[in-house]
Structure 1
Amino acid sequence: MKQILPKDITPFELQSVLQHSVAPRPIALASTIDKDGNVNVSPFSFFNMFSTNPPILIFSPSRRVRGNTIKHTLENVLEIPEVVIGNVNFDMVQQVSLSSTEYEKGVNEFVKSGLTMKPADLVKPPLIAESPVNFECKVLEIKTLGTEAGAGNLVICEVLKIHIQEQFLDENGNLDQKKLNLVSRLGANWYGKTSEETLFEVPKPLQNKGIGYDQLPTEIKNSKIFTGNDLGMLANVEVLPAGSFYSEESKHLEAQQFLLQSKIEEAWKVLTL
């Protein structure tokens, strides 16, 4: 196994390792404004939600690895502590990438990227019309993590208002994950696409208390057929079926086909004598 001590490699090398391995990452498209009224929009993949009540989003405009300078977005939220965060789907990803260009101070990336400004209701920065969801936020705190190249600056934001394009809702008025078609950031030039074809569901073990991997029958646990995912599904039942269990690979292969369809009960029926 390759082992790395961060202090032994360059910031460029460390950034590559981290961005390739800590992925996929959601993208915050941050719309900000400075004290003179200059608007900026830029994407950040050091981003996530960290609280529901209160609703808190955090993104990090890190110091540039090349040159150790700070980004206009950070300068803006230090002057005007407000931000609109839009999410990013496949239909706009090329424009979002273009908005990350290092334009000079005062250049409006909305204009350069062709993204559309729309007035917000509660904050000064504009909404991003192309984003399926926009969050109007006030900046509660900016926590600086260091002064060296690559150091992050956590912009802690409280959501004041949410705007959702209705075309991304289902028949019950809820966000439809399949329709959103969100993209995520990976390492180097790579992105991920969460299209309907790549989505899958894993039931959360909240209502049921699964027996756990350690309680699986030996014939099942030592199978040469079942993967870790297969065994995790089989272990997520509250009670083992009564009887003994097949050790034959043919039965395990048959049960595995049900597991591929998330049909755990049917898989156990195949495995039970």
Structure 2
Amino acid sequence: MQLDFATLTPLETYRWLASTVTPRPIAWVSTLAKDGVSNLAPFSFFQVISDEPPTLLVNVGAHDDGSLKDTLRNVQDTGELVIQLVSAAQATAMNASAAKLAHGVSEFEHCGIATVPASQVKPPRVAGAAVAFECALAEVQPYPRDNPNCYLIFARVLLAHIDDQILDGHGRVDPQKLDLIGRLGGSRYCTTRDRFDMARPS
């Protein structure tokens, strides 16, 4: 089978890419609007792209009508965000926060998701998240530049909160205890519980 992407609709393109480039980690992003309303939304086009400076990349698509999502607007207005990783225990809450709500409605309040204060930025953290990165906006790049349908948020990590309960005896992250979920195609997800080790060739 071969796919000529020049012949595919945007929806077909998304479905093929999203169902093959898997599993994808999920960025559960919390932000604040200028008026102080909190926002929380998950994004599965997400990755670490640099360790010096420590930088995460979140791809935020535009709404179908081309308008900007609250996450992007808030980040552009305030320059701050918190990126949480999603554990299996938080999967239902994460999914609930993906609902399309009216502008100005907080997903934290609507979904009953508890918060804790961040240390260096104003957006709240998700209570109970095993890993949370407090970030400052480095830059936003529209893509494609001439007619953007998504926006790449480059988020510089200022501070990380790591739950001590996910660490092993050597102070390193134990994947079994971290127990994250990843996005597959459609409505499917996976966990990081099943794994294997391979030594890199010298």
Shorter-normalised TM range = over 0.9
Q: Is the 8 A contact 1:115 1:130 kept in 2?
A: no
* 1:199 counterpart residue number: 195
Q: Secondary structure of 2:61's match?
A: coil
Could you tell me which residue of structure 2 aligns to residue 22 of structure 1? 21
Establish whether residue 110 from structure 1 lines up as the match of residue 108 from structure 2.
Answer: yes
Which residue of the partner structure matches residue 127 of structure 1? Answer: 125
Q: Distance in 2 between matches of 1:40 and 1:62?
A: 16
Q: Which amino acid aligns with 2:198?
A: V
Runs of 4+ in structure 1 off by over 6 angstroms are: none
1:166 to 161, 164, 182: 164
Provide the rounded CA distance (Å) in 2 between the counterparts of 1:148 and 1:41.
26
Contact 1:96 1:113 in 2 (8 A): no
Rounded to whole Å, the distance in 1 between the matches of 2:147 and 2:113 is: 32
Letter matched to residue 123 of structure 2? P
CA distance in structure 1 between the aligned counterparts of 2:95 and 2:102, rounded to whole angstroms? 16
Task: Report whether the alignment pairs 1:67 with 2:39.
Answer: no
Aligned match of 2:51: 52
Which has the higher relative contact order, 1 or 2, with Cα contacts under 8 A spaced 6 or more apart? 2
Instruction: Specify whether residues 67 and 6 from structure 1 end up closer, same or farther in structure 2 by C-alpha distance, changes over 3 A only.
Output: farther
Name the CA shift for 1:41/1:106 in 2 (closer, same or farther; >3 Å): same
Kindly tell me the number of residue pairs found equivalent between the two proteins: 201
What is the letter of the counterpart of residue 66 of structure 2? N
Q: Provide the C-alpha distance between the structure 2 equivalents of 1:134 and 1:46, rounded to a whole number of angstroms.
A: 17
Paired AA for residue 165 in structure 1: D
Task: Measure the CA separation in 2 of the matches of 1:113 and 1:91.
Answer: 15
Q: Name the SS of the counterpart of 1:91 in structure 2.
A: helix
Q: Give the aligned partner of residue 78 of structure 2.
A: 80
Which residue of the other structure, out of 88, 91, 94, is the alignment partner of 2:89? 91
Structure number with greater Rg is: 1
User: Aligned equivalents of 1:113 and 1:182: distance in 2?
Assistant: 20
SS at match of 1:101: coil
Measured in 2, the distance between the counterparts of 1:80 and 1:5 equals 41
For the 8 Å contact 1:84–1:136, the answer to whether it is kept is yes
Q: Is the 8 A contact 1:85 1:136 kept in 2?
A: yes
CA RMSD of aligned residues (A): 1.4
Give unmatched runs, 5+ long, in structure 2.
none
Structure 1 unaligned blocks of 5 or more:
209-273
Distance 2:190 2:197 in 1: 17
Structure 2 residue 32 is matched with structure 1 residue 33: yes
Q: Which protein has the bigger strand share?
A: 2
Correspondence for 1:185 among 170, 183, 186: 183
Residue identity (%): 36
